[in-house]
Structure 1
């Protein structure tokens, strides 16, 4: 990259705010196309304070909405390209189970039929015979091509490819404001440093709500931004009872347990092998939207909610006889929601807002880079589903 340096600060065609999965994907695709790119990260790539840290995220096809199920099919091709380009295995095969009355396994099976994803719909007795470490209360959907994403390694893989194509990554560079200048935008850090860019891509995750007020957005576009809800979620690792389930799978092998999503009337849980985060000896479980609401990532305190721990532990006691119901590793992470659960990928003037909300961004990461590239370069528009249209939560 041939970015110029002057007393006015650094210059780039694209400045990307955030070096999580989304920002890294955008950097990779834009730099790959020959564009000048600077990534500005307030901490470090895949920061433990953000939403893209660690080794355990679910890659799964199970959506009741065919639009998103088909998008996962497209994303899998992008992951294959990323793994080939980086020489790293980033998704470990695991297969995935879906059950619970609200999860609607039969409805999910119909969608996977429609988009051409391999799956089985099993009676609860048949599922129990195949996975005795779990207890089922409904029919069960099994799709074997799901897996576990190593989020942190994926971020570094994409940034390494971006850097090889000329991108620069600035760490410890917290954006305080983005202002429209005579030629593009001036991004100013909390320490007074500046970057000048023709276009800005904001992939700030849970920091977006706090940053929005300091973005120089056109009035109509600012008004169209949805209401963002940030939660400090709690994640718990429970040990496998069977020592044979411990240990890292060899490259290409499947994990010892599948991922699963349970949605019942009283609780919604997602679970996956904990991987490196749990020293390969336990399963990660979390309640979907079980954490407390916070104004933005700035307000997180990293304190695990004991009430939520009790709820998740009761679930383990009821549904996972193959786990010891005593968590041995606990953490918090950020979860950003919008009312309609769609991802937000929209732009006005030279500013693009990317917020893959509601716990679904990781599986789409490299595809999001393609979508952002096409949107900012004008080669294609993003789906209308991703437009910012002023959504508000009920009662607000």
Structure 2
């Protein structure tokens, strides 16, 4: 490991840029292995301008691509490890429903059967009898081991675990550039502060597109990366007509029909546990990067979601009592990027489905950055691997 050197910000084995779920997980895994780690966050961990804030993200096993189902199974062990270190649950079990004319519940059921994940494939009438607060139009897949992740709580738990292993958290530290310096890199903040690290992990979320050009990376590596599309998504909280009992919460759900994909989940503490969080996947506007977000709700989109709730979710009052925006950073295939050139690792768990994998992503990124393990080839665009399919879902 590197020995400390004198510079304005000190010297580290690894600098992790970004303290969202991916960055916090990587810092935890690196510090756990005994490395001297700096966590650089432009604001505060899990802040509201990133992708990891709030208390409600979906944890589920059902994927059209069995590769991801297997990764969820691997990630589950990491969540249990983190909950043990944290001393409290971070995933609330709710179960999940998958349905819709464009969602192929039978294919999902076949994948879960192959993976050994508990599930049921129900007819529309069977599902309607069990969940009368939904208006189903197709067969329904139910898998009870799904749930809701406390994203903000998970970030703070991982940062705390990293700091307990002697990592250093630096907040209000916006990275402006990363340049080679001696055997490592010099990181410079937007206000002129500097820090040395032998290796760097970039987990900047929606700020990644704007930062890539300021990283000392080979041009061939940069050209191999996919186009990162940043969207400002909108989510709406609709009140329950009848408050569910704590022991039988509303399930999470994924519904695809009419060219629209909608997801929903119990809203959590950030919406007072009063209703269901409902959003359209990739329904928001495209941004150059996170710096362009304005936090505004599109009235036409709000009405679109009100109409959706009126048609498909009779158990909710179709009048949102809370609404918010968040960032999705997408790749064309919806695959993640965990790739490395020289001493810089780029980590982007993209396309709105990365939260559930956080502990595993940190482990994979730490393996790649330290050279002690491998990363699936489809996550390394510089390897030239072609993804198996065009969509993970």
Q: TM bucket by the smaller chain?
A: over 0.9
Equivalence for 2:29: 29
Contact 2:27–2:162, Cα closer than 8 Å, also in 1: yes
Partner of 1:17: 17
Counterpart-to-counterpart distance in 2, 1:5 and 1:170:
18
Are positions 1:307 and 2:300 aligned together?
Answer: yes
Name the CA shift for 1:349/1:158 in 2 (closer, same or farther; >3 Å): same
Alignment correspondent of 1:245: 244
Give how far 1:377 is off: 1.3
Cα distance between partner residues in 1 of 2:269 and 2:341: 40
Could you say which residue in structure 1 is the equivalent of 2:51? 51
Compared CA separation, residues 301 and 3, structure 1 to 2 (3 A): farther
Q: Where in structure 2 are there 5+ consecutive unaligned residues?
A: none
In 2, the alpha carbon distance for the partners of 1:155 and 1:7 equals 29
Q: Is the 8 A contact 1:205 1:336 kept in 2?
A: yes
Please list every run of 5 or more consecutive structure 1 residues that lacks an aligned counterpart in the other structure.
none
For residues 306 and 73 of structure 2, what CA distance do their matches in structure 1 show? Answer: 34
Is contact 2:233–2:326 with CA below 8 Å preserved after alignment?
yes
Shift in Å, 1:305 = 1.1
Provide the rounded CA distance (Å) in 2 between the counterparts of 1:132 and 1:290.
27
* Alignment correspondent of 2:61: 61
Secondary structure of the equivalent of 1:109? helix
Q: Is the counterpart of residue 161 in structure 1 residue 161 in structure 2? A: yes
Structure 2 equivalent of residue 320 of structure 1: 313
Corresponding residue of 1:152: 152
Between the aligned partners of 2:266 and 2:311, the Cα distance in structure 1 is 19
For 1:373, which of 353, 360, 366 is the aligned residue? 366
RMSD: 1.6
- Residue 213 of structure 1 aligns to a residue in which SS? helix
* Corresponding position: 1:275 with 2:268: yes
Counterpart in the other structure of 1:333 = 326
Question: Is this contact kept in 2: 1:92–1:255, CA < 8 A?
Answer: no
Number of the residue aligned with 1:382: 375
Kept in 1, the 8 Å contact 2:25–2:361? The answer is yes
Change (3 A) 1:305 1:211: same
Distance change >3 Å, CA 133–CA 190, structure 1 → 2: same
| Partners of 2:16 and 2:203 within 8 A in 1 | yes
1:1-396 residue pairs with structure 2 within 5 A?
A: 4=4, 6-242=6-242, 244-245=243-244, 249=246, 254=247, 256-389=249-382
User: Is contact 2:2-2:13 (8 Å) kept?
Assistant: no
Number of aligned residue pairs: give it.
Answer: 385
Please report the TM-score for the alignment, with normalisation by the length of structure 1: 0.95
Secondary structure in 2 aligned to 1:161?
Answer: helix
Q: What is the deviation of 1:245?
A: 2.0
CA–CA distance in structure 2, aligned partners of residues 53 and 98 of structure 1:
25
**CA-to-partner distance for each residue in 1:83-133, whole Å, 9 max, x for gaps?**
112112100000000000111100000000111100000000000000000
Q: Is contact 2:7-2:194 (8 Å) kept? A: no
SS at 2:134 equivalent = coil
Calculate the TM-score normalised by the size of structure 2: 0.95
